[in-house]
Amino acid sequence: MSSKVTVPKIEGSKVRNGADPLVMVTAYDAPSARVASEAGVDMILVGDSVAMVVLGYDDTLQVTVDDMAHHVAAVARANPDPLIIGDMPWMSFHVSVEETVRNAATLIRAGAQCVKVEGGRKRIKMIEAIRAAEIPVIGHVGLTPQSANVMGGFKIQARDAHDVRRTIAAAKGLQAAGCFAVVVEGVPDLAGEMITDAVDIPIIGIGAGANTDGQVLVYHDVIGLENRFKPRFVRRYGTAYEDQVASIAQFTADVRERNFPGPDETYKTNEALAEALGLYGSQPK
Ligand code: KIV
């Protein structure tokens, strides 16, 4: 039986019905997709966070559909078992229904099995159109980084009762529009729990407390490769930044001290070639 995770395996996966919490991690290239797959996660999100985590931008607004397709394709080439989610970047689902569906299709043709769209009620029309093109969609509410300029930065959302109710209504609207899961980001834990209780599709939290149907984190945060700042909701499981600095520093020292390459890392010149070069009995320089 295939161990590939599919959309039907995810939708309906609710902790309250006895399911294990779902695990989603971002990945942006083939090696990280291989690692995520071997580690056994359920879903790989090729997130627009690639803009900040990998490409060095200050926000996620700088990446295009072509950028995202490039990274989705790299992940897909690793042929990982987890479900591959292509993140729809800012302005790829805001202009017209036709453009939106075409952009979603570009990510599917690059190798994603579904797409993720940020935003609540305002995005329903576009989500319905993507679904009508047979493309499964994940919603994303709460702190939506593509709205950072409107929100005044990367700020925790749903901080008052009105906003919590608005976010619950948004999640319900996304479910009604055909989303098979919703990411909820940056909300107080009670809001995360209430949103999870309010819908029958899985709620995947990031900074949304423990009582959701799953958790997502950015790959570079999990392995400790992103070491510049640590949001409260991140738990670092590794020291990849320090480990990599140590590896490259050791390589640097070995080259400078003429410890690299050693005999085992060298293609030896055979005697026939040495003789032909008139160097038999001595090592060629
Ligand atoms: O792009 C991303 O990494 C995301 C996650 C934070 C959910 O949208």
Query: Does residue 58 lie within any of the structural domains?
Result: yes
pLDDT digits (tens, 9 = 90+) for 126-173: 999 999 999 999 999 999 999 999 999 999 999 999 999 999 999 999
> Can you spell out the DSSP letters for 123-172?
GHHHHHHHHHTT--EEEEEES-GGGHHHHTSS-----SHHHHHHHHHHHH
The residue whose C-alpha atom lies closest to atom 2 belonging to ligand 1 is 47
86/285: higher pLDDT: 86
Helices (H), the chain: 7-10, 30-39, 50-53, 65-77, 97-110, 124-132, 148-151, 161-176, 189-198, 219-222, 240-256, 271-276
Q: Residue 164's domain is classified under what CATH number?
A: 3.20.20.60
Find the 267 Cα to ligand 1 centroid distance in Å.
Answer: 45
Q: Are residues 31 and 124 in the same domain?
A: yes
Query: Does residue 159 lie within any of the structural domains?
Result: yes
The answer to whether 137 and 114 have CB atoms below 8 angstroms apart is yes
Peptide bond into 202 cis (omega under 30): no
pTM: 0.95
Q: What pLDDT does 279 receive? A: 81
Query: Does residue 74 lie within any of the structural domains?
Result: yes
Query: Does residue 285 lie within any of the structural domains?
Result: no
For range 177-196, the mean pLDDT:
98
Distance, CA of 82 to CA of 219 (rounded, Å): 14
Q: What pLDDT does 1 receive? A: 60
Q: Are residues 161 and 247 in the same domain?
A: no
Q: Are residues 225 and 259 in the same domain?
A: no
Q: What pLDDT does 229 receive? A: 87
The answer to whether 229 and 240 have CB atoms below 8 angstroms apart is no
**Other CB atoms within 10 A of residue 243 CB:** 13
pLDDT digits (tens, 9 = 90+) for 9-66: 999 899 999 999 999 999 999 999 999 999 999 999 999 999 999 999 999 999 999 9
Query: Does residue 223 lie within any of the structural domains?
Result: yes
Query: Does residue 206 lie within any of the structural domains?
Result: yes
pLDDT bucket at 104, cuts 50 / 70 / 90: very high
Q: What pLDDT does 198 receive? A: 98
Ligand 1 binding pocket mutation candidate from 22, 23, 49 (most atoms within 8 A of CB): 49
**pLDDT surpasses 80 at 280:** no
**What is the span of the domain harbouring residue 265?**
243-276
Find the 76 Cα to ligand 1 centroid distance in Å.
Answer: 18
Domain count, the chain: 2
* Selection from 107, 114, 110 nearest residue 85 by Cα: 114
**pLDDT surpasses 90 at 285:** no
Which residues, including other chains, have CB under 8 Å from residue 255's CB and lie 6 or more apart?
Answer: none
- Name the active-site residue from 98, 99, 134, 185: 185
Q: Are residues 33 and 12 in the same domain?
A: yes
Q: Are residues 66 and 116 in the same domain?
A: yes
Average pLDDT, the chain: 96
Find the 98 Cα to ligand 1 centroid distance in Å.
Answer: 25
Query: Does residue 255 lie within any of the structural domains?
Result: yes
Q: Are residues 64 and 192 in the same domain?
A: yes
Atom of ligand 1 nearest to the CA of 49: 1
The residue whose C-alpha atom lies closest to atom 5 belonging to ligand 1 is 47
Q: Is 265 a known active-site residue?
A: no
Q: What pLDDT does 14 receive? A: 98
Q: Are residues 255 and 118 in the same domain?
A: no
Q: Are residues 155 and 247 in the same domain?
A: no
Enumerate the β-bridge partners of residue 184.
Answer: 141, 205
Q: Are residues 204 and 248 in the same domain?
A: no
% of the chain surpassing 90 pLDDT = 95
Q: Are residues 86 and 210 in the same domain?
A: yes
Distance, CA of 103 to CA of 137 (rounded, Å): 13
For range 89-113, the mean pLDDT:
98
The residue whose C-alpha atom lies closest to atom 4 belonging to ligand 1 is 47
* Lowest-confidence pick of 73-87, 141-155, 233-247, 266-280: 266-280
Query: Does residue 253 lie within any of the structural domains?
Result: yes
Distance, CA of 217 to CA of 205 (rounded, Å): 9
% of the chain surpassing 70 pLDDT = 98
Atom of ligand 1 nearest to the CA of 48: 1
Q: Are residues 143 and 248 in the same domain?
A: no
Q: Are residues 97 and 166 in the same domain?
A: yes
Q: What pLDDT does 2 receive? A: 74
Distance, CA of 186 to CA of 158 (rounded, Å): 8
